[in-house]
């Protein structure tokens, strides 16, 4: 995808005023986004939209809508945060962008690479910002792994492993997550996190080997990604059994191993030094069983700063989004 990005003018707000934010889709991941928006001094989460009234009832202090069209028409929003099911992301983003609203959209943008160009073209045409919330790019432990790779502090990267496991999402509204045409299943729901980080940190792999086992109410995959000087083994699954959500990684450098397992991040140096790098977690991911982290606040703050400063949010590049979707299509 070749695209020229025109810098936007910074937003000027009256003294004491804040950017008005609306959120569409009060489902699982909104439990991470809503507290993050509420923690921001520069924004005011004024409106929520969901077709299920019972999801809105816990927020009596907000402007509540069961119609997205109505919310976009009646609210003077600066930013829309899209936490809807995957198959609604691209068209909803274009609808809001066309009204001059900046858009932050949960991953994945789409199951189709062609939607990346469509959405960014709409943002460009209407002089507003768009970003996909690929949260691992803002997760401190993963950012550390990338910085150690970039700096070469512990030598070359030799190998890595990344794991993301959970149980079958039978709780999803209308069963949309179990419908491949609407969710893309495990590759686009879980594995996309780790693959997106690999493309962000190391570029596109030169080859990949896929093993996948699919049964009713279960989807398990292992993918090995080959790079010129190292390889990465990845694992992702929805299990039929009530397996608790778990994510982990190990990056093996020449002189150290960086491991994030069981909520602890540790650096094991070959000289025998062991460094516990886990700080006190902040923030809350709400109803989704995820490790606590401030990564959601990090990505929301980054996007807000880009909007306020008129700066293109290039930490999540459209070309990389297309590359990730293309690789996922091969699984």
Tell me the pLDDT tens digit for each residue of 125-156: 999 999 999 999 999 999 999 999 999 999 99
The CATH class that applies to domain 137-292+319-328 reads alpha beta
Residue 53 host element (H or E): helix 53-56
Determine contact, residues 162/290, Cβ cutoff 8 Å.
no
- pLDDT level of residue 209 (50, 70, 90 thresholds): very high
- pLDDT level of residue 93 (50, 70, 90 thresholds): very high
115-123 average pLDDT score: 98
Q: Which residues contact 33 (CB under 8 A, 6 or more apart)?
A: 23, 81, 83, 106, 133, 296, 300
Cα(178)–Cα(224) distance, rounded to whole angstroms?
A: 25
Same fold, 19-133 and 137-292+319-328: no
Domains of the chain, residue spans: 19-133, 137-292+319-328
- Whole-number pLDDT of residue 2: 42
Average pLDDT, the chain: 91
3-state secondary structure at position 22 = strand
Cα(206)–Cα(226) distance, rounded to whole angstroms?
A: 6
Sign (positive or negative) of CA dihedral 119, 121, 126, 131: positive
- Whole-number pLDDT of residue 238: 96
Q: Which range, of 72-81, 146-155, 257-266, averages the lowest pLDDT?
A: 257-266
Per-position DSSP letters for 193-247, written without gaps between them: HHHHHHHHHH-S-SEEEEEEEEETTEEEEEEEEE-SS-EEEEEEEEESS-PPPEE
| Residues 177-187: tens digit of each pLDDT | 999 999 999 99
- pLDDT level of residue 10 (50, 70, 90 thresholds): low
From residue 5, alpha-carbon distances to 95, 118, 237, 262 in Å are 20, 14, 37, 41
| Residues 212-222: tens digit of each pLDDT | 999 988 999 99
- Whole-number pLDDT of residue 16: 57
Question: What superfamily does domain 19-133 belong to in CATH?
Answer: NAD(P)-binding Rossmann-like Domain (3.40.50.720)
Q: What pairing do the DSSP bridges indicate for beta strands 43-49 and 19-24?
A: parallel
- Whole-number pLDDT of residue 4: 42
- Lookup: tokens for 312: 């293109």
Nearest by Cα to 33 from 268, 280, 287, 236: 287
- pLDDT level of residue 12 (50, 70, 90 thresholds): low
- Lookup: tokens for 46: 């004024």
Determine contact, residues 154/269, Cβ cutoff 8 Å.
yes
- pTM over 0.85? The answer is yes
93-129: b or e for each residue (b if 16 or more CB lie within 10 Å)? bbbbbeeebbbbbbbbbbbebebbeebbebbbebebb
Cα(72)–Cα(274) distance, rounded to whole angstroms?
A: 52
Q: What pairing do the DSSP bridges indicate for beta strands 63-65 and 43-49?
A: parallel
């Amino acid at each position: 995808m070749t695209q020229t990005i025109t810098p936007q003018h910074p937003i000027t707000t009256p003294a004491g005023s804040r950017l008005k934010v609306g959120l569409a889709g009060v489902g699982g991941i909104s439990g991470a986004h809503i507290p993050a928006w509420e923690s921001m001094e520069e924004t005011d989460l004024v409106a929520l939209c969901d077709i299920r009234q019972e999801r809105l009832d816990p927020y009596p202090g907000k402007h509540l809508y069961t119609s997205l069209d109505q919310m976009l028409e009646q609210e003077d929003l600066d930013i829309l945060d899209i936490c809807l099911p995957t198959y609604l992301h691209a068209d909803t983003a274009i609808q809001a962008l066309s009204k001059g609203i900046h858009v932050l959209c949960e991953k994945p943008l789409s199951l189709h690479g062609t939607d990346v160009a469509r959405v960014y073209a709409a943002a460009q045409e209407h002089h507003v910002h768009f970003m996909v919330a690929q949260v691992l790019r803002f997760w401190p432990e993963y950012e550390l792994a990338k910085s150690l790779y970039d700096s070469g502090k512990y030598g070359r990267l030799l190998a890595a492993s990344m794991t993301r496991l959970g149980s079958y999402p039978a709780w999803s509204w209308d069963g949309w997550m179990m419908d491949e045409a609407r969710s893309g299943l495990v590759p686009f729901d879980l594995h996309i996190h780790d693959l997106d980080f690999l493309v962000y940190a190391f570029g596109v792999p030169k080859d990949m080997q896929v093993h996948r086992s699919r049964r009713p109410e279960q989807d398990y995959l292992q993918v090995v990604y080959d790079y010129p000087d190292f390889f990465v083994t990845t694992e992702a699954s929805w299990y039929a059994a009530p397996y608790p959500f778990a994510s982990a990684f190990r990056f093996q450098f020449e002189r150290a191993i960086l491991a994030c397992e069981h909520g602890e991040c540790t650096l094991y140096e070959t000289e025998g030094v062991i460094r516990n790098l886990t700080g006190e977690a902040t923030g809350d991911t709400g109803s989704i069983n995820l490790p606590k982290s401030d990564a959601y606040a990090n990505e929301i703050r980054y996007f807000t700063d880009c909007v306020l400063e008129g700066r293109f949010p290039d930490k999540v590049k459209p070309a990389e989004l297309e590359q990730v979707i293309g690789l996922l299509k091969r699984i």
